Amino acid sequence: MKYRTLSTIFHMDKATTALESNRSLARERRLADSSFRLGMQADGDELFFAVPRELSVLNEEVLRKERKVSALFSSLPPVARGALIRSLVIDEVVSTNALEGIHSTRRQIDELLCETSESQSLSNKRFRELANLYLGLTTDAQGLPNSAEDIRAIYDKVMQGESLCENAPDGALFRRSGVEVIGNGGKVLHRGLEPEGKIVSAIATMISVASSEEIPATYGAIAAHYLFEYIHPFYDGNGRTGRYLLALYLSQPLSLLTALSLSRAIAENKAPYYRAFKDAENPLNHGELTHFVMCLMEYISNAQDGLISDLTEKNGQIDEVHKVIEQLDMDDKGHAVMFMLSQLELFAAFPDAYLKEIAEFLGVSSQTARACIKKLEESGYVKPIAKRPLRFVMDELGLSLLKGTGWRR
């Protein structure tokens, strides 16, 4: 039998005792051995989620797909792996912004990630720290938050460069006054917790849920995401901060690729995401988050499907183009540069390579790398697209090698 929400069962029940039955079933589900109680109240009910058969099957499906994603990613050459991760970071930042109605472009985020440490110190550019937070997931640079202060520090990076004005946090760490989420027609969809003392306590609960060893890590990350958005600790920026935290927590039990694909999956079909929040707050559901967890698990599964499809296709293409390049009449350095640029064409958001990057890849000086590239230019395989600093991409003859594998830009 399909696991239904408490509110759905209530509306199907035509008996005069429907409300009493609704409360009784909620209590039964909350106290079941297979349920996880979160230690936080919402409108008089303790938040919890159950693990019905559908969720167990979905979790097994996600774990099975994870093994496939990891195997496909591991089989890629190093340049392709790095290019793919960077492309996913760019798409994730653009997507999480788009979910808040904020416009940003892939080129804009790519350029922010390309900034040197020297140029970063002189700027306070919007989205730069948000992009670097996601990129930091690839290096373990950002540890898991352990305190309310850690959450505030993450928020400050997410919102760096934003003109917050009256929406800036006015409490010791979070907001001091109330906040409302307003929907179409001015309807209040949600009111965040207040006062700040209650926010701080609830954030501690959220951190505890996310890091609990008694809750399966993927479920805990999703439940913590709901708690953060329910708390709504800031006047602005809760959505982007919450989704970054979700990626951070999911990067522990799942692959980095999956964790970096969730905002895009949500942005491509956002209605179920917002409906899951709405349903979880329905008083007739008495704080049950089971369907919220299932909804996010389905987004994870869909994101994995996209990754597996893309990686399977491009793995075949990169193998094929490598064989073709090895047959070209050029020296080993020429083969290496062509293979590097082929990987960027297949996996990067923008397939250009700096002269410095090419030299480092070859393990030679910039002067030696430039001489090698010059031969490829003269043969029509490579062309420069910028002079300061020098950047190169494949020219038409080089791209024709990729087109032979079925690749399309």
In this prediction, residue 116 carries a pLDDT of 53
Q: How many whole angstroms separate alpha carbon 23 and alpha carbon 33? A: 18
Both 219 and 78 in a single domain? yes
- Mean residue pLDDT of the chain comes to 94
Listed residues 308, 336, 354: the one ending a domain? 308
What range does the domain containing 299 cover? 49-308
Cα 225 to Cα 41, 198, 271, 289, distances in angstroms? 16, 18, 17, 11
The number of CA neighbours under 13 Å toward the Cβ of 215 is 25
Peptide bond into 351 cis (omega under 30): no
HEC string for the chain: CCCCCHHHHHHHCCCCCHHHHHHHHHHHHHHCCCCEEEEEEECCEEEEECCCHHHHHHHHHHHHHHHHHHHHHHCCCHHHHHHHHHHHHHHHHHHHHHCCCCCCCHHHHHHHHHCCHHHHHCCCCCCHHHHHHHHHCCCCCCCCCCCHHHHHHHHHHHCCCCCCHHHCCCCCCCCCCCCEEECHHHCEEEECCCCHHHHHHHHHHHHHHHHCCCCCHHHHHHHHHHHHHHHCCCCCCHHHHHHHHHHHHHCCCCCHHHHCCHHHHHHHCCHHHHHHHHHHCCHHHCCECHHHHHHHHHHHHHHHHHHHHHHHHHHHHHHHHHHHHHCCCCCHHHHHHHHHHHHHHHHCCCCCEEHHHHHHHHCCCHHHHHHHHHHHHHHCCEEEEEECCEEEEECHHHHHHHHCCCCCC
Listed residues 277, 308, 339: the one ending a domain? 308
- Asked if the structure places residue 320 within a domain, the reply is no
Backbone phi and psi for residue 51, each to the nearest 5 degrees, phi listed first: -125, 80
Both 304 and 382 in a single domain? no
- 365-395 b/e (C-beta count within 10 Å ≥ 16 → b): eeeebeebbeebeeeebbeeeeeeebbbbbb
- Asked if the structure places residue 83 within a domain, the reply is yes
Q: Return contacts of 392-395, CB within 8 angstroms, 24+ apart.
A: 392/341, 392/352, 392/353, 392/355, 392/358, 393/341, 393/344, 393/345, 393/351, 393/352, 393/353, 394/338, 394/341, 394/342, 394/345, 394/351
CATH number at residue 392: 1.10.10.10
Q: How many whole angstroms separate alpha carbon 391 and alpha carbon 200? A: 49
Instruction: Express each pLDDT in 196-229 by its tens digit.
Output: 999 999 999 999 999 999 999 999 999 999 999 9
Both 176 and 120 in a single domain? yes
User: Which residue's structure tokens are 């953060």?
Assistant: 228
- Asked if the structure places residue 182 within a domain, the reply is yes
Both 130 and 63 in a single domain? yes
Both 53 and 128 in a single domain? yes
- Asked if the structure places residue 44 within a domain, the reply is no
- Asked if the structure places residue 6 within a domain, the reply is no
Both 353 and 291 in a single domain? no
In this prediction, residue 37 carries a pLDDT of 98
Cα 237 to Cα 26, 187, 233, 292, 375, distances in angstroms? 33, 20, 9, 21, 50
Both 290 and 363 in a single domain? no
Both 172 and 215 in a single domain? yes
- Chain Cα centroid distance, residue 342: 26
Residues 6+ apart with CB under 8 A from 55: 3, 290, 293, 294, 297
Listed residues 276, 308, 340: the one ending a domain? 308
Structure pTM? 0.94
- Asked if the structure places residue 22 within a domain, the reply is no
Both 303 and 335 in a single domain? no
CATH number at residue 145: 1.10.3290.10
Instruction: Express each pLDDT in 22-80 by its tens digit.
Output: 999 999 999 999 999 999 999 999 999 999 999 999 999 999 999 999 999 999 999 99
- Chain Cα centroid distance, residue 127: 15
- Tell me the two tokens of residue 273: 């995401």
Both 293 and 398 in a single domain? no
Q: How many whole angstroms separate alpha carbon 305 and alpha carbon 323? A: 28
Which positions of the chain have pLDDT values less than 70? 116-124, 141, 409
Q: Domain tally for the chain?
A: 2
- Asked if the structure places residue 81 within a domain, the reply is yes
Both 105 and 245 in a single domain? yes
- Asked if the structure places residue 31 within a domain, the reply is no
Beta bridge partners of 170: none
Both 194 and 119 in a single domain? yes
Backbone phi and psi for residue 352, each to the nearest 5 degrees, phi listed first: -85, 150
In this prediction, residue 184 carries a pLDDT of 82
